[in-house]
Amino acid sequence: MSRILRKALAVIAALALLTGTAFADASIVSPVADSVVYSDSLLISVKLTGSENVKVTVYQEYYESSPAVYELQEIPEDEAAAEAAKTVSETPDSGVETVAIPEDQEAPKEGSEAVPSEETGAGKAPAEETASEKTPIAENAPAGTESGEPAGSEATEEAPGAGNGAEDAAEQEPGEPELIKVLIREAEYSPYDASALSAEDLSLLSSGRTEDASGEALTLSDGSGIPELSDVVFAPAVSYKSDSEVGFYTKQLSVQPGLYKVSVESRSGSSHCFVAVKEKQQEEKPGIFSGGAQKSGAFSFLRNMLRSLFR
Amino acid sequence: MRSALIEKIKVVIIVVLFITTILLLYLLWSPGGRGIGFSGFGGRSASSDAPTGAGLLRAEYALRSSGSGSTELSYDADGVFAAAKEELAGFLAQSYAESSVISEQQYELAMRDWPSVSVGFGCGLPLNGVLSLIAPESQLLRTADVIVDSIAFSDAAPDSVFARDSGSGSHYRFIFGEPRESVDKLSSAFGDNSYPAYTARDLLGVGSVFLPLGSFSELSDMPFGAADGSKEVGTDAARAVFGDTFSFVRRITDSFGNVTYMYGYGEKNLYLYAEGAIEYRTTVSGTEASDFARDLDAALSFAAGCGGLRGDEWKALRLCGYSESGIRVHTRNFSFAQSVLGVPVYGQSGPALTVTVSGGAVTGLRREGIDPGTYTPGENRAAASPANVIANNSNHIYNILKGSVLAPASDEAFDFAAKAVRSLAPGYYADPSRKLLVPAWVLKASGGEMFYFDLYEGTPLGYTR
């Protein structure tokens, strides 16, 4: 009987543990999803229900303000291998780099825009202090393969922040000069200007949709198309664990105007929300109180006199 | 001839006596007359050592908003409150004032979107009573019979003073004739010891009270003993209540050392507890129409007459709680907390001094002061997050306020607890078992209940209903 009782208690305890885990949840309280904030500080508040471990990351959204420029150059065969072996640091001033061209990606036409890789998700951040940071996704991105392999193979080199995106050089007959893709200018990324975004625009960006049901391209409220945004880590991922039934992770960040994304990852899933930080306009604020003490002097005099008589 | 003269003299005497009767009736019995003050049957007259109510009126916290979305909270609000009193006195010296009820949205816009400063009392107080303490000679707004727990100034309306009662969710704007630069003056009085603050709605998703995002403190545990509970103090209190002759008064002592003085069949009782607490109760209430300021002074006078608090000990008191009830006979309850190192001290039975005034006469008093021991400052360290103090203890708060023993759904308990919070501020909790003053977050609920949580760990220490 005692063995049965012990087993029953163990089952009940296991069920309680699983129930607590199953119903654990994390939700973003602040900022309000798809909201606009007029402040130089941003409050992050995440509510954890149940014993939960979360990772909170804040990204700032960047867009490609200037595309990368490539051109195809001919290099004699014997120089191709030596060129491919060069690292970026050896040719810092030449503005010429050799880049990896995975097989499954097409080579851009000469002078065309570069296609940023989806894996890195991090464009070239203009701020130096973030240039060396890697997003959690970027940290797990597959590194470029080893360089030094014979020409014609996938000679690759990892250029920080540089987008990859061309396929292997066209096959050449032995002895002929080899075509290689040369990066002339890297893509430039700038913080996305959120000053024109409305709450509806933010909802649209959150949905991830670019076309409506009829296949027409969706546009923002100002008529522009849905931008391609890149996440750049603004506040590195922070892990937080709550052991109680209800707990909160709170943090305040100093921000500049722009578009930010708060991402919360937990065992039960992940969620994110966009928030547009705008600069408060210095124009005349509309009065929030109508009327007020705009009484005429004669009226107030009569009123005070009557009050004093009957006081 | 002679008889006619005598008759005339009689008529004059009767007329004089008649007029004298009318005047005496007016002086003794009319509400506007001076009357003759009775201090109850027996007892001494009011003590001249009693502090004034205005001196014990202090702010629990101050809030400053930049108008660009950031708000700071400071618990060191004495300087800001002094400036606020000056500004209020300046407004009340004007000749015109108008009251209006505004919406919560208007109030929050005025506080958030414009530079503003507000001071909070930590409890609801009658506005006309507060103004009569600050500017007793002014008659402006004396008919504003509303309860408020904070007063604010905003550049949204420099000619106005704002007030709020977070318990009922009411917001007020009092418009005066001339604008003043109140926000600048109060802002300059703001100290450096402040923290970023957000509303409970921003931090927790529900609630209106402002909470600091985080704070630091050097408060550490401190031993304490009971306040002077000597026999002499007890006898002085008994003489103050019953008079020197103790006529019709019985004295009862139990085996624990508690002494009870009883007048008649229990019309007036005085309890002197062995641990030093003093309690007074009477079933006889007054019949005077009174106001907040007079009742407060009566409470302090009576408490001073009972002895036990002298000189500087009075300066350490602060008004920390107030409630009122009754229509025909107005009953007011005043609570005063003892301050140690600038923060209030609360025990298991609540603040150090509570006085009940009914119909202008004191009908109840409880005094349980503490005598702090030697203090050793601790290192400056982070206090428990106020948001998590509420969240982690929401079940505890729910069960105490609801009187329930069953565990509620976590969301239901959390929503209820977050909405019930009226203020959260640091203080000391006098742990009776360890005889230690423990640094604590003091949470006041909307019904007057108080909860105490460890300042650094956030764990429950006790509560007072």
Sorted by where each begins, the domain ranges of chain A are 25-63+192-277, 68-186
Structure tokens given for B57: 């009126």
Q: The sheet that has A246-254: what strands, in order across it?
A: A25-30, A41-49, A246-254
B78 sits in which H/E element: helix B78-92
Residues B419 and B457 in one domain: yes
A307: confidence class by pLDDT, cuts 50, 70, 90: low
Q: For residue A41, which residues of chain B lie inside 8 Å, CB to CB?
A: 69-70, 196
pLDDT of amino acid B432: 87
Q: For residue A295, which residues of chain B lie inside 8 Å, CB to CB?
A: 96
Hey, are the CB atoms on B203 and A47 less than 8 Å from each other? Answer: no
Q: For residue B96, which residues of chain A lie inside 8 Å, CB to CB?
A: 293, 295, 300, 303-304
Nearest chain A Cα distance for residue B187, angstroms: 19
Last residue of some domain: B193, B211, B246?
A: B193
Hey, are the CB atoms on A30 and B70 less than 8 Å from each other? Answer: no
For chain A, helix (H) and strand (E) counts, in that order, are: 6, 12
Alpha helices in B182-340 (DSSP H): 182-188, 200-204, 231-242, 292-305, 312-315
pLDDT of amino acid A144: 34
Hey, are the CB atoms on A248 and B202 less than 8 Å from each other? Answer: no
Residues B291 and B177 in one domain: no
A310: confidence class by pLDDT, cuts 50, 70, 90: low
Looking at the structure of chain B, the number of domains it has is 3
Hey, are the CB atoms on A39 and B157 less than 8 Å from each other? Answer: no
Q: Mean pLDDT per segment of 10 residues, for chain B of length 465 residues? A: 90 94 78 42 46 84 90 92 94 90 92 93 90 88 87 94 90 93 93 89 90 90 77 72 79 87 86 85 81 89 75 76 84 90 85 90 87 85 93 92 77 90 91 91 90 95 91
Residues B367 and B248 in one domain: yes
Do residues A64 and A123 make contact, with C-beta atoms less than 8 angstroms apart?
Answer: yes
| Degrees, nearest 5: CA angle A148-A154-A158 | 70
Hey, are the CB atoms on B159 and A293 less than 8 Å from each other? Answer: yes
B168 within some domain: yes
Structure tokens given for A182: 């040369």
Residues B151 and B256 in one domain: no
d(CA A171, CA A182): 17
Residue of A289, A296, A299 for testing the chain B interface, max B β-carbons within 10 Å: A289
Residues B343 and B400 in one domain: no
pLDDT of amino acid B80: 95
Do residues A124 and A188 make contact, with C-beta atoms less than 8 angstroms apart?
Answer: yes
Q: For residue B91, which residues of chain A lie inside 8 Å, CB to CB?
A: none
Last residue of some domain: B171, B193, B215?
A: B193
Nearest chain A Cα distance for residue B359, angstroms: 24
Q: Which of A30, A245, A287 sits opposite B202 (nearest CB)?
A: A30
Among chain A, residues having any CB pair with chain B shorter than 8 Å are 29-30, 37-41, 43, 45, 47, 49-50, 244-248, 250, 252, 280, 285, 287-289, 292-293, 295, 300, 303-304, 311
Question: pTM above the 0.80 mark?
Answer: no
d(CA A166, CA B60): 66
B18 within some domain: no
pLDDT of amino acid B174: 94
Q: Is B202 part of the contact surface with chain A (CB cutoff 8 Å)?
A: yes
Residues B310 and B427 in one domain: no
Do residues A79 and A264 make contact, with C-beta atoms less than 8 angstroms apart?
Answer: no
Q: Which of A247, A295, A303 sits opposite B391 (nearest CB)?
A: A247
Query: What is the homologous superfamily of the domain A25-63+192-277 according to CATH?
Result: Immunoglobulins (2.60.40.10)
Nearest chain B Cα distance for residue A266, angstroms: 19
Q: For residue B386, which residues of chain A lie inside 8 Å, CB to CB?
A: none
Do residues B428 and B222 make contact, with C-beta atoms less than 8 angstroms apart?
Answer: yes
User: Which of B 375-394 lie inside 8 A of A, CB atoms?
Assistant: 385, 387-388, 391-392, 394
d(CA A300, CA A157): 83
Which residues pair with residue B317 across a beta bridge? B338
Do residues B239 and B44 make contact, with C-beta atoms less than 8 angstroms apart?
Answer: yes
pLDDT tens string A32-68: 989 999 888 899 999 998 877 899 999 999 988 888 8
Q: For residue A39, which residues of chain B lie inside 8 Å, CB to CB?
A: 68-70
Residues B227 and B350 in one domain: yes
Give the residue on B whose Cα is nearest the Cα of A28. Answer: B205
Last residue of some domain: B372, B389, B418?
A: B372
What's the whole-number mean pLDDT along residues A266-273?
Answer: 88
Do residues A42 and B202 make contact, with C-beta atoms less than 8 angstroms apart?
Answer: no
Nearest chain B Cα distance for residue A295, angstroms: 9
Higher local confidence (pLDDT), B426 or A212 = B426
Question: Quick one: DSSP state of residue A81?
Answer: H
For residue A236, the one-letter residue type is P
Residues B229 and B356 in one domain: yes
pLDDT tens string A122-159: 333 333 333 333 333 333 333 333 333 333 333 333 33
Out of A94-98, A114-118, B182-186, least confident range: A114-118
Q: For residue B198, which residues of chain A lie inside 8 Å, CB to CB?
A: 30, 43
Give the residue on B whose Cα is nearest the Cα of A302. Answer: B96
Helical pair B292-305 and B127-134, crossing angle rounded to 10 deg: 70
Q: For residue A22, which residues of chain B lie inside 8 Å, CB to CB?
A: none
Hey, are the CB atoms on B173 and A289 less than 8 Å from each other? Answer: yes
B389 within some domain: yes
Which residues pair with residue A7 across a beta bridge? none
Hey, are the CB atoms on A300 and B177 less than 8 Å from each other? Answer: yes
Predicted confidence (pLDDT) at residue A120 exceeds the cutoff of 80: no
Higher local confidence (pLDDT), A260 or A209 = A260
B340 within some domain: yes
Residues B153 and B265 in one domain: no
pLDDT of amino acid A123: 39
User: Which of B 28-47 lie inside 8 A of A, CB atoms?
Assistant: none
Nearest chain A Cα distance for residue B17, angstroms: 31
Cβ-Cβ contacts under 8 Å between A and B: the total is 99
Hey, are the CB atoms on B410 and A246 less than 8 Å from each other? Answer: yes
Residues B84 and B159 in one domain: yes
Give the residue on B whose Cα is nearest the Cα of A303. Answer: B96
Range of the domain at B325: 223-372
